[in-house]
């Protein structure tokens, strides 16, 4: 039977990312060929990588990724070593440290061994490796009818080169190199015979990249490590920093900030948060927009980069295979072989009904936050094209709703954020016929129309502004008339192609609250329901209420808890019930403490029990961009902070903080051209805001307490 530590270490994973490359390995630093590996452009370049000492796995002491997400460090020790020219060594004499990082699409590793024994030790190290060049979708479980050819690995001086000729004709390569010539070198392993005197120390440098470069060395390792640190430090410096007096809360905010920096790639269009590791380490439209909205009050650069990238990749022609139409904003992009060959439509795929209105919604929010009308002017043709697509689809619907229906079977059946095949259904569990109008999507369209009206007024286009404002009013009335379920005091999830309401209670209407569409009475009723035991687990808000036909707390979208969804619901609830938002902030914060301050993509929706922990969802991405951003949105909802970039003002409405957190400071908060510190302190039971810094007098502060 395997030792408990060995078993746990084999299944605990740690991730690193840089640009379009990422690494998933276990606590030992090993890659076992399951869903782990070194990936680049959706292709697995290294599928197997294990360290053995005297033929057996080392003993795990501990492992972690550094707080800045740059280095993975694993501390190991030997199991008993056999007598080979030196006295036999018991376990626990040789300390082995594996330290690795990614820089410029290359993996750098340093393996250090030190003998703490009183006698010399012979320590035979063996690295086993392999490359299968599988597409990310194959790693996820897709079975292909045929694959390309994995070529015979080529042994060369100090390493091995791997190659794969794909069905697309491309030659994909990777190479592993060592800082010294191995004693034994084969196509799948390299052996080193270390002789360690008492107190003796040896180190070995390893590199894995697309091509072999110079032989690895201590200097190359140090230079690349310095570059990796600088790049990460630059990403982490963007935006305001949240600091609180409560150490755990600050640790959560710092971890979230570090995870967003890890997931953000600096593209020619600006910074862009990739969706999540391992399955979604690529640009997604919806995820990036929502992440940008979550972080916008603190970091405006992210939103600008996302808007620029999405505008650059906006659809200009019709494609049933890609679910594309002129003006539509992309759902995701992939670079792997299967997408290149169009075995899948995801090379540049547009099958997301909500991404286009969310894009417009983000542009309006960015402009209000920054006052950057010059950027909006440059973006205006893309915004007009996006609104053109929205209006064409809405005008083709009897109720004026934005609907979806996949054009080909290869596309996504459901095209809202809950995009699993069974996430939209009728009260009896039946899957509805399309085209489908999702309730939250109409909210996004409502916000997009109002945002465009505001921007058009700023640009002097009064007629266009009046038209968009009128459409928003008509849409609001239609949503209230068609989606409201009087018997439930709640909104239904969707309307199907036959005009029938899916009378199902899901978390989707929480997004309506966020954009401010519902009437005050219905908003209050909806907010109250989201905090009842049917939805609220004690850890967050379920995606589907208990008692609904397809409810399953272990499902992907039908009863699980997604931190980003809970945060959006909280931002909506805060308009009616700041205390309810505060309750959700506390719950999600407590959830984070059970996941090492790193919120997962989702977790199971079981009700909280005394002394118990949240139940993990086994294949959730960790980290995930909009899970990392959830804490920022929750905090903003509780503090009631809005920054008006047009007027260079901060507006605060009834700020609240959870008990036990008596001070929170936002350091280096940009307000127009100014930079200030915004501090919230609990004074005589009230939360009082202060503006500090050299520019404090140039920034207006308007406080309204409820």
Which tens digits make up the pLDDT trace of 63-75? Answer: 999 999 999 999 9
610 and 667 fall within a common domain: no
**pLDDT higher than 80, residue 83:** no
Q: Are residues 175 and 304 in the same domain?
A: no
Instruction: Report the SS3 class of residue 675.
Output: strand
Contact 17, 277 (CB under 8 A): yes
494-495 vs 501-502, strand pairing mode: antiparallel
343 with 474, same domain: the answer is yes
Structural domain for 188, as ranges: 4-232
Q: Choose the final residue of a domain: 592, 607, 639.
A: 639
Phi–psi pair at 154, nearest 5 degrees? -115, 120
Same domain for 454 and 583, yes or no, is yes
pLDDT, tens digit (0-9, with 9 covering 90-100), for 570-584: 999 999 999 999 999
Structure-block tokens of residue 350: 């547009």
The confidence band for 648, taking pLDDT boundaries of 50, 70 and 90, is: very high
Residue with tokens 């750098």: 108
What stretch of H or E contains 224? helix 218-236
419 vs 560: CA distance, rounded Å = 14
**Residue where a domain stops, chosen among 232, 250, 281:** 232
* Same-domain status, 515 and 664: no
> Is 470 part of a structural domain of the chain?
yes
The answer to whether residue 663 sits within a structural domain is: yes
Kindly report, residue by residue over 673-702, the tens digit of the pLDDT. 999 999 999 999 999 999 999 999 999 999
Average pLDDT score over residue span 646-650:
96
What is the per-residue pLDDT across 253-270, written as a single tens digit (0 to 9) for each? 999 999 999 999 999 999
Q: Report the percentage of the chain scoring pLDDT > 90.
A: 92
**Measured distance CA(595)–CA(264) in Å, rounded:** 21
Supply the pLDDT for residue 212: 86
* pLDDT for the residue numbered 550: 97
- What is the reported pLDDT for 84? 47
Q: In this structure, are 184 and 280 located in the same domain?
A: no
Judgement on whether residues 195 and 141 belong to the same structural domain of the protein: yes
Q: Are residues 123 and 58 part of one domain?
A: yes
In a domain, 168, yes or no: yes
pLDDT tens column, 461-493:
999 999 999 999 999 999 999 999 999 999 999
355-370 and 439-458 helices, crossing angle to 10°: 40
Structure confidence by residue, pLDDT tens digits, 181-238: 999 999 999 999 999 999 999 999 999 999 988 899 999 999 999 999 999 999 999 9
Q: Map 531-574 to HEC letters.
A: CCCCCECCCCEECECCCCCCCCCCCCCCCCECHHHHHHHHHHHC
- pLDDT mean over 50-75: 96
Angle at 282 between CA 277 and CA 284, to 5 degrees: 105
Q: Which of the four pLDDT bands, split at 50, 70 and 90, describes residue 2? A: very low
pTM above 0.85, yes or no: yes
Cα gap 273→613, rounded to integer Å: 29
Q: Decide if 614 is inside a domain.
A: yes
Percent of the chain with pLDDT strictly greater than 70: 97
Single out the residue of 368, 377, 374 nearest to residue 646, CA to CA. 368
Residue given tokens 């090379």 in the structure block: 347
pLDDT at 4: 43
When pLDDT is cut at 50, 70 and 90, the band that residue 85 belongs to is very low
CA distance linking residue 604 with residue 618, whole number of Å: 9
Q: Would the pLDDT of 275 be above 80?
A: yes
Structural domain count of the chain: 3
Q: Which two tokens stand for residue 336?
A: 């792997």
- Same domain for 226 and 271, yes or no, is no
CATH of the domain at 365: 1.50.10.10
644: in domain: no
Give the number of C-alpha atoms closer than 13 A to the C-alpha of residue 461, restricted to the C-beta side: 14
Asked if the structure places residue 609 within a domain, the reply is: yes
**Which of the listed residues 188, 208, 232 is the one where a domain comes to its end?**
232
Q: Is the pLDDT of residue 646 over 60?
A: yes
Which CATH number does the domain housing residue 209 bear? 2.70.98.40
- Work out the pLDDT band at 414, boundaries 50, 70, 90: very high
Label residue 7 by pLDDT band (50, 70, 90).
very low
DSSP 643-660: EETTTTEEEEES----TT
Q: Are residues 614 and 683 in the same domain?
A: no
Give the bridge partners for 113, in sequence order.
96, 202
The reply to whether 678 and 619 lie within a common domain is no
Is residue 635 in some structural domain?
yes
Q: How many Cβ atoms sit within 10 Å of the Cβ of residue 116?
A: 14
Q: Are residues 201 and 271 in the same domain?
A: no
207-240 burial string, b = 16+ CB within 10 Å, else e? Answer: bbbeebeebbeeebbeebbeebbebbeebbebbb
Residue 468 lies in a domain: yes
Let me know: does 581 contact 594? Beta carbons within 8 Å: no
Q: What share of the chain is helix, strand, coil (3-state, %, to 5)?
A: 30, 25, 40
Rounded distance between C-alpha atoms, residue 95 and residue 119, angstroms: 14
Which pLDDT does position 157 carry in this prediction?
A: 87
């Amino acid at each position: 039977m395997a030792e408990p530590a060995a078993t746990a270490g084999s299944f605990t994973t740690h991730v690193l990312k840089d640009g379009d490359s990422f690494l998933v390995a276990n606590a030992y630093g090993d890659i076992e060929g399951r869903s782990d590996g070194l990936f680049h452009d959706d292709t697995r370049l290294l599928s197997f990588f294990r360290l053995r000492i005297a033929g057996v796995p080392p003993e795990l002491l501990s492992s972690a990724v550094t707080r800045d997400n740059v280095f993975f460090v694993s501390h190991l020790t030997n199991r008993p070593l056999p007598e080979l020219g030196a006295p036999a060594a018991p376990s626990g004499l040789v300390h082995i440290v594996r330290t690795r990082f990614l820089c410029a699409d290359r993996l750098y590793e340093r393996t250090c061994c030190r003998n703490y024994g009183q006698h010399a030790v012979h320590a035979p190290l063996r690295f086993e490796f392999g490359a299968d060049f599988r597409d990310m979708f194959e790693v996820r479980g897709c079975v292909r009818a045929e694959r390309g050819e994995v070529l015979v690995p080529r042994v060369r001086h100090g390493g091995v080169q791997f190659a794969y000729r794909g069905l697309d004709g491309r030659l994909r390569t990777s190479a592993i190199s060592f800082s010294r010539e191995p004693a034994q070198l084969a196509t799948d392993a390299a052996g080193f015979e270390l002789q360690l005197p008492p107190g003796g120390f040896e180190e070995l440098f390893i590199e894995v990249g697309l091509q072999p470069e110079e032989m690895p060395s201590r200097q190359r390792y140090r230079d690349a490590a310095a570059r990796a640190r600088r790049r990460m430090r630059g990403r982490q410096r963007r935006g305001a920093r949240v600091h609180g007096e409560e150490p755990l809360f600050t640790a959560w905010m710092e971890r979230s900030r570090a995870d967003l920096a890890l997931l953000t790639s600096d593209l020619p269009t600006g910074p862009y948060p990739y969706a999540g590791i391992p399955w979604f380490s690529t640009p997604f439209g919806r995820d990036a927009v929502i992440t940008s909205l979550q972080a916008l009050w603190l970091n405006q650069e992210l939103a600008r980069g996302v808007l620029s990238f999405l505008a650059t990749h906006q659809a200009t022609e019709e494609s049933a295979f890609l679910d594309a139409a002129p003006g539509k904003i992309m759902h995701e992009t992939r670079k792997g072989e299967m997408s290149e060959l169009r075995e899948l439509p995801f090379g540049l795929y547009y099958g997301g009904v909500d991404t286009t209105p969310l894009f417009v919604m983000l542009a309006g929010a960015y402009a209000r936050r920054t006052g950057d009308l010059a950027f909006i002017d440059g973006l205006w043709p893309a915004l007009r094209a996006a609104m053109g697509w929205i209006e064409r689809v809405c005008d083709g619907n009897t109720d004026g709703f934005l609907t979806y229906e996949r054009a080909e079977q290869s596309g996504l059946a459901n095209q809202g954020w809950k995009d699993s095949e069974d996430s939209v259904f009728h009260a009896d569990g039946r899957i509805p016929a399309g085209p489908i109008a999702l309730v939250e999507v109409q909210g996004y369209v409502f916000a997009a129309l109002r945002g465009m009206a505001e921007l058009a007024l700023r640009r002097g286009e009064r007629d266009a502004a009046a038209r968009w404002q009128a459409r928003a009013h008509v849409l609001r009335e239609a949503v209230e008339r068609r989606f409201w379920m009087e018997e439930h005091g709640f909104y239904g999830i969707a309307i199907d192609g036959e005009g029938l309401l899916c009378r199902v209670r899901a978390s989707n209407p929480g997004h309506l609250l966020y954009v401010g569409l519902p009437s005050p009475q219905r908003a209050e009723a909806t907010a109250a329901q989201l905090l009842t035991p049917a939805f609220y687990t004690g850890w967050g808000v379920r995606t589907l209420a208990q008692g609904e036909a397809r409810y399953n707390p272990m499902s992907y979208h039908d009863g699980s808890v997604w931190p980003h969804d809970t945060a959006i619901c909280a931002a909506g609830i805060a308009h009616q019930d700041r205390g309810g938002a505060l309750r959700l902030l506390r719950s999600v914060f407590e959830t984070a403490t059970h996941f090492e301050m790193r919120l997962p993509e989702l977790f199971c929706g079981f009700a909280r029990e005394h002394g118990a922990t949240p139940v993990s969802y086994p294949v959730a991405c960790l980290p995930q961009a909009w899970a990392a951003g959830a804490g920022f949105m929750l905090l903003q909802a509780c503090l009631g902070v809005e920054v008006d970039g047009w007027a260079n003002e901060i507006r605060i409405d009834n700020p609240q903080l959870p008990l036990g957190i008596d001070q929170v400071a936002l350091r280096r908060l940009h307000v127009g051209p100014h930079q200030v510190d915004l501090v919230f302190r609990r004074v005589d039971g009230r939360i009082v805001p202060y503006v500090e810094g050299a520019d404090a007098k140039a920034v207006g502060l308007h406080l309204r307490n409820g």
